[in-house]
């Protein structure tokens, strides 16, 4: 995925996240709704991480296309 594709994916995910946050949820579907929202948040974190990897490779003179999407368990373990 190149930077434009990653940015496009981020825009799609942000739109989906906003739609979920704005929707009214039946109490019975609240756990499913929360799970969907969490999955989107994880995918967003992975996309942002991929962009940071690509930028770091560019600055280091390496091929940004060698950057890979890291597993959710790794990306979600980062400290901010």
**What does 1-59 look like in DSSP terms, one character per residue?**
--HHHHHHHHHHHHHHHHHHHHS---GGGHHHHHHHHHHHHHHHHHHHHHHHHHHHHHH
CA distance 48 to 4: 12
Q: Cβ distance 40 to 13 under 8 Å?
A: yes
Regarding pTM above 0.75, the answer is: yes
Top-confidence residue, 40 or 77? 40
Tens digits of per-residue pLDDT, 6-58? 999 999 999 999 998 888 878 778 888 889 999 999 999 999 999 999 999 99
Q: Residue ranges of the domains in the chain?
A: 3-75
């Amino acid at each position: 995925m190149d930077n434009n594709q990653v940015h496009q994916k981020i825009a799609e995910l942000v739109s989906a996240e906003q739609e979920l946050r704005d929707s009214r949820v039946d109490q019975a579907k609240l756990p499913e709704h929360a799970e969907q929202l969490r999955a989107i948040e994880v995918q967003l974190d992975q996309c942002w991480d991929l962009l940071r990897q690509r930028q770091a490779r560019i600055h280091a003179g390496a091929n940004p296309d060698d950057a890979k999407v890291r597993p959710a368990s790794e990306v979600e373990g980062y400290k901010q």
